[in-house]
Amino acid sequence: MSPKKRKQRKPRHPARPEAAAPTGPRPRASRTPVVVQDPPDRRITALWVLLTLLWALGTPLALANLLFTTMDVQDAAHLADGPQDTTAAVDAVGDALVWLLVLALAVPAAAALAAALLRRKIAAIGFTAALAVSAVPLLWLMPPAELADALTAHLLG
């Protein structure tokens, strides 16, 4: 052993037993039981997973549906020789827009509200963030006034 390590070691037993400080009785450990909370209900966890998958998978699919429907309407308009009835095409675009709004805005808003009512703080924060992630680009591309006009035109005739 090196001399440095030999100097750093303390003796295991005190050299003089009378120099050791007398210790009193040890304080007793607290014997209060620890309360372990029950695990969260699996049905609520399954609800959060279902709503998350519905938002995360449904929003891009609804956006793709809106895009492809709009492209089909444009292609049909270019291929048509004369005036045609566009009611069915406009209805298809309106339906795709409604699905996009439901999956991108209504699902995370309802989930955030449910999480807040059930006092699930982390889920409420997560679904509020999901709502913001969906709403900001959507409302930036299509302002709320134009969106409301498109919805009223589709739903009311």
Is residue 12 in some structural domain?
A: no
Q: Is 19 part of a structural domain of the chain?
A: no
Provide the domain limits for residue 131: 42-156
State pTM to two decimals.
0.66
Question: Does residue 140 surpass a pLDDT of 90?
Answer: yes
Range of lowest pLDDT (45-54, 67-76, 79-88, 142-151): 79-88
| In a domain? residue 15 | no
Whole-angstrom Cα distance, residue 17 to residue 22? 10
Classify each residue of 79-97 as buried b or exposed e, where b means 16 or more C-beta atoms within 10 Å of its C-beta. Answer: eeeeeeeeeebeebbbebb
Residue 57 in any domain: the answer is: yes
Per the domain annotation, does 21 fall within a domain? no
- Does any domain span residue 17? no
Question: Which band of pLDDT confidence, cut at 50, 70 and 90, is reported for residue 78?
Answer: confident
Structural domains in the chain (count): 1
Asked if the structure places residue 64 within a domain, the reply is yes
Question: Is 139 inside any structural domain?
Answer: yes
